[in-house]
Structure 1
Amino acid sequence: MADFNGAHWTIALCAPGSADAGDRRLDGVPAKVPGTAAGALATAGLYDPENPQPLHDKDVWYRTEFDTDPGRYRLSFGGLATIAEVWLNGKRILDSRNMFRKYEAEAELSASNRMEICFRALEPHLNVRGPRARWKPQLATSQGLRLIRTTLLGHMPGWCPDIHAVGPYRPIRLEPADTPRITDTHILADLAPDGSATLTVSLKLENAGGTPELSCAGTTAEMTRQEDGTWTAVLRPVDVTPWMPHTHGDPALHDVTVKAGERQFSLGKTGFRRMEVDHGADGQGFGLKVNGVSVFCRGAVWTSADLLNLSGDAQTYRSLLEAARDAGMNMLRIGGTMLYETRAFFEICDELGLLVWQDFQFANYDYPVKDEEFVHEIHAEIRDQLAETQGCPSLAVLCGGSEIYQQGAMMGLPEDRWKGPLCEEILPDLAGSLRPDVPYVPNSPSGGVLPFSPGEGIAHYYGVGAYLRPLEDARRANVRFAGECLAFSNIPEQRGLDEGLPGIRPGHDPRWKARVPRDRGAGWDFEDVRDHYLKTLYGIDPTALRYGDPDRYLDLGRAVTGEIMEQTFAEWRREGSSCRGALVWTFQDLAMGAGWGVIDAAGRPKPAFYALKRAFRPLQVSVTDEGTGGLAIHVINDRPEEKTVTLTLDCLKDGRVPVVSGRKDLTLAPHSARTLNAVELTGAFFDVTYAYRFGPPSHDVTVVRLLCRESGESLVEAFQFPLGPDLAACSATLDTNLRQSEDGAWWLDLETDRMLRSVNIHVDPFRPSDNWFHLAPGKKRRIELRPDPRTESPARPIGFVSALNRNGKVTVT
């Protein structure tokens, strides 16, 4: 099968319904396939993604000419956005009304051929009146979007730029019609409770003779032909390593191949695993078990790797997905407001051990499921999309959509008005038949007395966050599983701002505010949310600080959202917590600025990313202040290996002088969590949390460490500040030592004589392995400096190190 080379395509824009009248300046612009009209125009300098022009009010024509041997051919279209007509040599061969469907067409080709694809203006279709909706959400700009199967990206003011998805955004391929191929593949890789593996495969074989043989994991079997022409086989390989998320084991994969005659077909790789939902002892919760092991799912909601071009290739995905893996994330959710991702996305998640929660692309709206044609499109769409993931072990949850139930319920409608056949009948039936190995949930959120009740089922938890609740609400709300949570306007590192928003100061420029996310129609934005917690946690007036010292305002804003995330996940991951998973809103920004993402629009980690990396460690220690109950120390070992460690505690006065210490040797069982009280280390009462207040405070910071029992190396650390944050500048010594190892890697050693808050390593274009962390005295901290993969790195890292509570910067050269 041959791809159409994007260099041979051109596009032209014209008025709706016309192929002649149009902007001549926009006629014959080179375009790439797969790609979008916005991407092609931007490459030609005719479209500004920072100030996008509307594209849904125009027809867009893609044209190409190509030569081939005369004969009958098969054309495959991976995705056309959205109302499209395909013309071949003057004949209309295909129509599309669904961005999420895949199409095939056979045609007789000549030696020289011409193909045209007309993407009709979407705006007239959005203005068509459909069945009356029971509710009208404020999420997007047009109520007509509920009638058209297209992405909501580009239609959600305050969420993402208005870049409209138009064009053949997925590959177009051409092959002779008699080319041997496999179709209608179904792959089920199962792992029984006793550890035995079973692979069941069914498929159809075209233009290939002989009895096919299925092979996987060292086992081969002949396939059996069924009455309908389908070939089936069942393999039972022995001694296979199960697939696990990377935080809890090895994401082991195995090639699946079919041999028919002299031809061998690859069905990709698969992993043997078992996904189960754990509803808890009361039947009201939600959690996942993978191969019988309870997995705390942590990660973020995925947006898009490339909003401009909607790229779906492995190269575009890899660096972002590797960043998610490196941050200790083990789940990404593709929300119903986004876009179905390609097979390449799932294959990389398979490889990296990342679970994927897949919303079907339905969100907020009351969809017209009494329309037979609409339902037919849904069936075709889901079949096409789930065919992409056959055999992929990373697919962990299928969900009917995002906030459909919540929208109806919040409008005051009774349950029988907002809970309907789309999510309760149509989608679960399709999911069960095409991916029976994947649990299905009807909506996110759902499951409670109201669908958005945090204490039951799946929540979108914004108590800590948009609703400005105190951090204690994360426990009080009894969250069971947060499909979304902790949305903040996360500020990028300074380099990202300098490149993406040069010369713009926070709060003083409308261009800054334009990049701060907000809910449509709300009188506040998510910078207001961040500022609320800056004032609450640090006791500093953000408005006065922004006016008087905007650089420090940015640094405190960078630190505070990460601190909230670390404290909240410490609460949710502890033994005894009701929570079994939480996904931060969102993983990456769609435009440069202080957006929701923990990765900026250029693909670089924000300070909040590093906080999550600390919060998500498989081997973890964290602390919670239990008031008069003392300091609780939570130790977690998600890994499948037993860990022998030493737990230490040091209370420091003035951030440097030890006043009490303790230690305890522990053997951590695989996949275990336990909670200790500080008194178990100190051996006697000591007011670690300064709850009893008998006299003046004896200390201002408690440092808890897990040490390797054999080497004494510090593995992980946690901190508690019983008097609250003291960000007054001090003159602490900060020693730095930059060195290069034999393999060429750069390392930075840091050491201080006094507690430092939110240490910032700024060595662009290198990326530190950790950043914006607290640095305690008495232990050297070693940080790896990795070249930024998106830029050309200098021979040696150059920059500085600073801290929120230290005067001046220390130069790194």
Structure 2
Amino acid sequence: MIDLGEVTWALSMTEPGAFETSLSTGHQWDFVPAHVPGTVAGALTDAGLYDPENPVPLHGKDVWYEAWFDAPPGRYSLHLEGLATIAEVFLNDVEVLSSRNMFRKYNVPVELADRNVLKICFRALEPHLNAKGPRARWKPQLATSQGLRLVRTTLLGHMPGWCPEIHAVGPYRPIRLEPETTPRIVEKHILADLAPDGTAALSVTVRLENTDAVPVLTCAGASAKMSLQDDGCYAATVRPEGAKPWMPHTHGEPALYDVTVQAADNTLSLGKTGFRRIEADHGADGRSFGLKINGVPVFCRGAVWTNADLLNLSSSRETYRPLLEKARDAGMNMLRIGGTMLYESRAFLELCDELGLLVWQDFQFANYDYPVKDAAFVAEIEAELRDQLDESMGSPSLAVLCGGSEIYQQGAMMGLSEDRWKGPLCEEILPAIATELRPDVPYAANSPCGGVLPFSPNEGIAHYYGVGAYLRPLEDARRADVRFAGECLAFSNIPVQQSLEEGLPVKPGHDPRWKARVPRDRGAGWDFEDVRDHYLKLLYGVDPAALRYGDPDRYLELGRAVTGEVMSETFSEWRRPGTNCQGALVWTLSDLLIGAGWGLVDAAGRPKPAWYALKRAFRPVIACVTDEGTNGLAIHVLNERAEEKPVRISIACLRDGQVPVVSGEKGLLLAPNSAQTLNAVDLIGAFFDVTYAYRFGPPSHDVTVVRLFDTQTGELISEAHHFPLGRGLHRHFDAPEVSVEQDEAGSWSLMIRAKRFLQSTVVAIPGFEAEDNWFHLAPGEAKCIQLQQTPDEERDDQAAPKGQLTALNFAGRVPF
């Protein structure tokens, strides 16, 4: 095998059509070193000719890639895994491929000489975007060009206000050559299943080349000789005994097993698979959407994936891993790849398989009215889906296949009737291929869809922004009766100060560079900072504009805290027993530039405060609270694990954040995969106006703390807090005790003991990432926080961490 990413590449940009074929190339003077896989934007950036923070259009030029290489002469198969977007491939000045689809994969038979040159011309996309096609029934405002509906390319880079306008051009996925005589698998179909009785079964069909041996399928200690079928393929089914089921990490172990096909002396790998059964759960009334994994209802929580490397479109494990581990560490169990993004590589799915993260995959269609009466367009779509679903074969993490994003919503919001916005693309073409190739994965026609209108949150799949962009009160999360939020809770989340100082050292709101990185909907007269400010005023009772003007540092502190507080309360509503909600995915996991973007993780890879809030809200064993007014404070206790859990739950109502007015506790044995609701009275033993709903006299307390402990170990599992008078910020001067400790293994931790309740406690430690941050801390018990050194920071490993502690209601700083 020849990896053409290891040879020397160069690129040159020309006017559109300057060279019709590769025969006349070579006269360009502006060759730039390039990488494969890679992009034009990445190569130009490396050469100092492109600024990703101020990108210029790249779709108005032709770009020629060129590489010379030596090889043993003979016949080979040229594998091209992704070309963006209108591409012509020339080997030794003979055209071997023409592609018009960024999402296709190609295997091209070629003949090599001793010395070879491979040239790829990426034609200017602009003329294709300006070309006229069939008339659209609606025109969305999402992207800059209506012509994007006619070209199979990503919308990334074309959505101002959503992401940097870095255009995807170039060979963004690997290119390699294999000798044509190499034994290999050229077609495959893999289906791993887990029956209701726990029996695991793996059915595999393969078509082999360059071997006459009868293949043997092996997985999890079980083997079977494969049988030749009438169509020339080989097929077999094995039923490994004792194979563990694959579960998302929140509910169990993501067990994986190697799959191989042995043909004589050749071991051909089909990667790893896991045994699981996924069913769509439409609820008792048939109006919901959710998932059962191996018969267990799973509350799906996580975020919408954007991209790990917008500049280079890298798809390696090394690029994906940090963000996917951040998702796993935050307690997420699902990521959605939206229709406005990009199909990710096999490495993405493999890591999700290993980490126990479910993947919701939108096919790459969004908002537009696509020309499905064009037979050539439909043929291209069908080939695209086969390429992409072939990549996913055997992956247990693939949990939902979806026809796209907001296609139905766009048409319906334009006032069109259902027969005009619901059509064959999502109802016939896409599900037919999805069902054929991945019958083990539920299909959803669109996100959102399902109600009297496709965007009604109380049926099917919603894009819920009642709490959020529509500025509804927090109670709307319950009133809307959300069944499943394919996306929700989009806020302009502010990064930590270190990231701002390194990547955006400007004052919030007073500098155009700050506002340029605040997301907004194209054509709207508001942005998502306005949304955050609305809830800042609602929760903290301050005027955001006056605060930003008079005390910008305090504005940032409150702005960082408020989005996590809103998200935590909303997920408490959605996870409580009695809710109809079966899952919700926050918009989005990560930012593409440093700034107050939608991401829960900033562009430097650092978690934002909202990430920590969701990490606490997403725990599989948790206690959370909801204010039920005159019905008191409801305490919801959940155990999503497969084992029963003995716990102790306590409550304390504190006056002045310090003096216990009333308290109580109760022991519980949580059954596996169970949830129950208690009232505060169940713990206290008598009536007490915990929510301050009756208002008999002045309030007796200002904060209620609910703690959940592991009975066997005494470990604190989770905490929940309720503020009956609102999140007042009367600042006190009772400094907590803070110390840094090191264990025998050399790991560092921070020990904190508060004298008075601390609201949104922040530990800032250069060179370290705390396992918990922006947390509320009740007085009395010590809190131990593990510290992990960040790999990108240079420091003395033996030196104790140094930093400072602050809190929103503490009038001071504690250095340590």
Q: TM-score, normalised by structure 1?
A: 0.99
Q: Which residue of 2 aligns with 1:556?
A: 558
Q: Distance in 2 between matches of 1:363 and 1:794?
A: 49
* Distance verdict in 2 for CA 1:282–1:612, change over 3 Å: same
Aligned partners of 1:11 and 1:26 also within 8 Å: no
Residue 380 (structure 1) aligned with residue 383 (structure 2) = yes
Q: Which residue of 2 aligns with 1:399?
A: 402
Per-residue CA deviations over 1:581-634 (Å, capped at 9, x if unaligned) read 000000001111000000101111011100110110011111011000000001
Q: Distance in 2 between matches of 1:150 and 1:714?
A: 49
Q: Which residue of 2 aligns with 1:2?
A: 2
Aligned partners of 2:486 and 2:584 also within 8 Å: yes
Q: Which residue of 1 aligns with 2:784?
A: 782
Residue 691 (structure 1) aligned with residue 696 (structure 2) = no
Q: Distance in 2 between matches of 1:808 and 1:2?
A: 62
SS in structure 2 opposite 1:115?
Answer: strand
Q: Which residue of 2 aligns with 1:285?
A: 288
Q: Distance in 2 between matches of 1:721 and 1:23?
A: 71
Q: Which residue of 1 aligns with 2:131?
A: 128
Q: Cα RMSD over matched residues?
A: 1.3
Q: CA deviation at 1:740?
A: 1.3
SS in structure 1 opposite 2:477?
Answer: helix
Q: CA deviation at 1:32?
A: 0.6
Query: After superposition, where does 1:478-517 map in structure 2 within 5 Å?
Result: 478-502=481-505, 504-517=506-519
Aligned partners of 1:14 and 1:22 also within 8 Å: no
Q: Which residue of 1 aligns with 2:804?
A: 800
Q: CA deviation at 1:183?
A: 1.7
Q: Paired residue for 1:308, among 303, 306, 311?
A: 311
Aligned partners of 1:598 and 1:605 also within 8 Å: yes
Q: Which residue of 1 aligns with 2:722?
A: 720
Aligned partners of 1:325 and 1:352 also within 8 Å: yes
Query: After superposition, where does 1:30-429 map in structure 2 within 5 Å?
Result: 30-429=33-432
Q: Distance in 2 between matches of 1:250 and 1:25?
A: 56
Aligned partners of 2:7 and 2:67 also within 8 Å: no
Per-residue CA deviations over 1:568-593 (Å, capped at 9, x if unaligned) read 00000000011000000000011110
Aligned partners of 1:787 and 1:793 also within 8 Å: no
Number of aligned residue pairs = 811
My pick for the range that moved more, 242-251 or 23-32, is: 23-32
Q: Distance in 2 between matches of 1:26 and 1:620?
A: 64
Aligned partners of 2:462 and 2:487 also within 8 Å: yes
Query: After superposition, where does 1:635-784 map in structure 2 within 5 Å?
Result: 635-784=637-786
Aligned partners of 2:303 and 2:589 also within 8 Å: yes
Q: Which residue of 2 aligns with 1:13?
A: 13
Q: Distance in 2 between matches of 1:512 and 1:305?
A: 22
Q: Paired residue for 1:611, among 590, 610, 613?
A: 613
Q: CA deviation at 1:27?
A: 1.9
Q: Distance in 2 between matches of 1:406 and 1:356?
A: 22
Per-residue CA deviations over 1:283-337 (Å, capped at 9, x if unaligned) read 0001100000000000000000000000000000011101100000000000000
Q: Which residue of 2 aligns with 1:525?
A: 527
Q: Which residue of 2 aligns with 1:578?
A: 580
Aligned partners of 2:769 and 2:790 also within 8 Å: yes
Per-residue CA deviations over 1:501-520 (Å, capped at 9, x if unaligned) read 12x11000111000000000
Q: CA deviation at 1:697?
A: 0.9
Q: CA deviation at 1:152?
A: 0.0
My pick for the range that moved more, 643-652 or 19-28, is: 19-28
Residue 628 (structure 1) aligned with residue 630 (structure 2) = yes
Q: Paired residue for 2:474, among 447, 466, 471?
A: 471
SS in structure 2 opposite 1:5?
Answer: helix
Identity of aligned residues (%): 69
Per-residue CA deviations over 1:765-805 (Å, capped at 9, x if unaligned) read 21100110001001100111111133334433221110011
Per-residue CA deviations over 1:357-396 (Å, capped at 9, x if unaligned) read 0000000000000001000100100000001110000000
Aligned partners of 1:454 and 1:461 also within 8 Å: yes
Per-residue CA deviations over 1:126-173 (Å, capped at 9, x if unaligned) read 000000000000000000000000000000000000000000000001
Q: Distance in 1 between matches of 2:117 and 2:443?
A: 44
Listed as ranges, the gaps of 5+ residues in structure 2 are none
Task: Give the letter aligned to residue 5 of structure 1.
Answer: G
Q: Distance in 2 between matches of 1:211 and 1:258?
A: 10
Aligned partners of 1:7 and 1:30 also within 8 Å: no
Task: Give the letter aligned to residue 165 of structure 1.
Answer: A
Q: CA deviation at 1:397?
A: 0.1
SS in structure 2 opposite 1:27?
Answer: coil
Q: Distance in 1 between matches of 2:538 and 2:707?
A: 28
* Distance verdict in 2 for CA 1:262–1:425, change over 3 Å: same
Q: TM-score, normalised by structure 2?
A: 0.98
Listed as ranges, the gaps of 5+ residues in structure 1 are none
Q: CA deviation at 1:240?
A: 1.2
Residue 541 (structure 1) aligned with residue 543 (structure 2) = yes
Q: Distance in 1 between matches of 2:127 and 2:686?
A: 75
Q: Distance in 2 between matches of 1:114 and 1:210?
A: 36
Per-residue CA deviations over 1:418-473 (Å, capped at 9, x if unaligned) read 00000000000000000000000000000001000000000000000000000000
SS in structure 1 opposite 2:31?
Answer: strand
Task: Give the letter aligned to residue 744 of structure 1.
Answer: G
Task: List structure 1 runs of 4+ shifted beyond 6 angstroms.
Answer: 20-26
Q: Distance in 1 between matches of 2:43 and 2:811?
A: 49
Q: Distance in 1 between matches of 2:746 and 2:416?
A: 63
Aligned partners of 1:475 and 1:571 also within 8 Å: yes
Q: Distance in 2 between matches of 1:145 and 1:711?
A: 58
Q: Distance in 2 between matches of 1:697 and 1:307?
A: 52
Aligned partners of 1:644 and 1:709 also within 8 Å: yes
Q: Distance in 1 between matches of 2:791 and 2:472?
A: 39
Aligned partners of 2:5 and 2:176 also within 8 Å: no
Q: CA deviation at 1:26?
A: 7.5
Q: CA deviation at 1:22?
A: 12
Q: Distance in 1 between matches of 2:58 and 2:279?
A: 44
Q: CA deviation at 1:732?
A: 1.5
Aligned partners of 1:248 and 1:639 also within 8 Å: yes
Aligned partners of 2:5 and 2:174 also within 8 Å: no
